[in-house]
Structure 1
């Protein structure tokens, strides 16, 4: 008798697995919402976010949903407008850090020889330098602004990705399919882009997300310390002015919480996606997840799991 239960064939491929992962989906939705907020900010809240529009230090009300700052600026408008610069710096810095790290790591790992020695030496120099203290020193001597902050974060953040990708390249270089391509006479660039890069998708994505989380946090932190352009509206400068106005001491929590919550949510969303990537690519985590899902499925379908558990409790 044919069974009515249809077993769905699992889709293969990293991208499909990522799309079917609940953590990745939840993180991606949150990130997309913030990106839409940043892009549509000028349309949703037209006007100058630095303008004085109401009484100073007014708590949230029907007129100002998130209250006003100590200078009488709209906190909601500053939070929405500030998202654009902070997210732009964070994601663009993460992308550049990932690209530089990939280029240096691939060149060092695949070419080997003196190229590997020189690039590994340069990478090790940047790795032993403390990242954030070095960023503070560099930012203090350059012209303040988002471009400067992004440049500082790129200088201090590319080396870790390069080190990880070099190690992965060294491992892939010894695989049979790469050796076969070398023996068949394929060019270096063709081997890298056709044989090696597709097998590093998860590592590249994880490196990009980690660099973006670091960049957003560092950008907000540097501007909070006053090392950015305090005349611009960003999440970091919002916290800088709130600190200057002693917002928490005067009870004006509404000038701190919205921006802080946005930073935390974006970081949480990126970490969710990063954890999903690790869950998909790590065999141990994947096997544990599959085992848990099988147990749940057996419980729901009244399979063998239920009597075993009951017998255990009865004993």
Structure 2
């Protein structure tokens, strides 16, 4: 008995206590873990889409160019009083894209114009999708007279030519970037509203919505905590696709002379080229660079939007 006791306590020392088990993670920590896992799975699936990855790389390049334009070309590139070259010079070693009708460096103007075009496209798309999401969620949640009236208004906007409405708004309001953003957003929200309303109706038909209502969940609780998270993937994909349309619309309005004359954009460069007679005189370098920039950025956003839509939609992902 003595030997066994000494072997258990004296020789081997006091018995080692097992390490304490980790405390269970709280609800907030579990929610963040699920979100990180969802983002990781999203990135893995998105990266497998080659066209979407190519579009993302192009967007990163254009974003870097736009952000660093004040450092690489400077704001004085827009100055018409101290232009470095002769009017309408062709591409050369000094001027990679040639010069415009005032002798300004077109390469620097294209880089600087990316700031305005991307900014207007992003703001207009975000505002348009926000309006459409708000209208779609409320129309899908509140049935009856409100839903009927708001969807008839949406149908009216859908059948009206978007560009004609945007031109009318841009003509009536003052010529500024805010006017262009509002004109594009006000005329492009109905498509998002229709899609979000359909998704809202599908979400509210599920059983957990009935349980939330039975437990006393109010209208804003249902829409904010249950409906909105389920329609956010659709909203994200629609925003990405809407940016390309907004950039094209901004370029069209600027080409028609309805843009902000104090800021350089790609559409504004095309409008300046038209006024200078670049088409009839054969000055192709005045038209091609801003036109290609518009096309490439619109294509990049479209590729990203389609890739996001295919990742978030299981039916599209299965049929790819």
Short-chain TM bin = 0.7 to 0.9
**Structure 1 CA distance, aligned partners of 2:165 and 2:205?**
37
Bigger Rg, structure 1 or 2: 2
2:218 paired residue number: 187
Checking the alignment, whether the CA contact within 8 Å between 2:51 and 2:303 is kept in structure 1 is yes
- Count of residues paired in the alignment: 281
**Structure 2 CA distance, aligned partners of 1:96 and 1:208?**
9
Q: CA RMSD in A?
A: 2.1
Sort the Cα spacing of 1:190 and 1:209 in 2 relative to 1 into closer, same or farther, 3 A: same
Sort the Cα spacing of 1:198 and 1:14 in 2 relative to 1 into closer, same or farther, 3 A: farther
**Structure 1 CA distance, aligned partners of 2:77 and 2:158?**
39
Q: Secondary structure at the match of 2:189?
A: helix
1:94 paired residue number: 125
| Residue of structure 1 aligned with 2:194, choices 163, 174, 197 | 163
| Residue of structure 1 aligned with 2:96, choices 44, 65, 69 | 65
**Structure 2 CA distance, aligned partners of 1:172 and 1:288?**
23
Displacement of 1:167 in angstroms is: 1.1
1:33 paired residue number: 61
CA deviations over 1:123-176 (Å, ceiling 9, x no partner): 222222211111112212221122111111111111221111111101111012
2:236 paired residue number: 205
**Structure 2 CA distance, aligned partners of 1:28 and 1:12?**
17
1:81 paired residue number: 112
| Residue of structure 2 aligned with 1:147, choices 171, 178, 198 | 178
CA deviations over 1:55-105 (Å, ceiling 9, x no partner): 111111111111111221110111011111111110001001111111111
**Structure 1 CA distance, aligned partners of 2:308 and 2:256?**
33
Sort the Cα spacing of 1:288 and 1:158 in 2 relative to 1 into closer, same or farther, 3 A: closer
**Structure 2 CA distance, aligned partners of 1:176 and 1:155?**
35
Checking the alignment, whether the CA contact within 8 Å between 1:135 and 1:156 is kept in structure 2 is yes
In structure 1, stretches of 5+ residues that fail to align are 1-9, 290-315
Sort the Cα spacing of 1:17 and 1:198 in 2 relative to 1 into closer, same or farther, 3 A: farther
Sort the Cα spacing of 1:47 and 1:27 in 2 relative to 1 into closer, same or farther, 3 A: same
**Structure 1 CA distance, aligned partners of 2:300 and 2:75?**
29
Q: Secondary structure at the match of 2:96?
A: coil
2:246 paired residue number: 215
Displacement of 1:264 in angstroms is: 0.7
Q: TM-score, normalised by structure 2?
A: 0.82
| Residue of structure 2 aligned with 1:241, choices 243, 263, 272 | 272
Displacement of 1:13 in angstroms is: 4.9
Single out whichever of 230-239 and 117-126 deviates more from structure 2: 117-126
Q: Secondary structure at the match of 2:248?
A: helix
CA deviations over 1:220-279 (Å, ceiling 9, x no partner): 001101112334211111000111112132222111111111111111111111221232
2:13 paired residue number: none
Sort the Cα spacing of 1:150 and 1:60 in 2 relative to 1 into closer, same or farther, 3 A: same
In structure 2, stretches of 5+ residues that fail to align are 1-37
Q: TM-score, normalised by structure 1?
A: 0.83
Checking the alignment, whether the CA contact within 8 Å between 1:49 and 1:233 is kept in structure 2 is no
1:313 paired residue number: none
**Structure 2 CA distance, aligned partners of 1:92 and 1:78?**
21
Displacement of 1:201 in angstroms is: 2.8
| Residue of structure 1 aligned with 2:74, choices 43, 46, 49 | 46
Q: Which runs of 4+ in 1 moved over 6 A?
A: none
Sort the Cα spacing of 1:64 and 1:11 in 2 relative to 1 into closer, same or farther, 3 A: closer
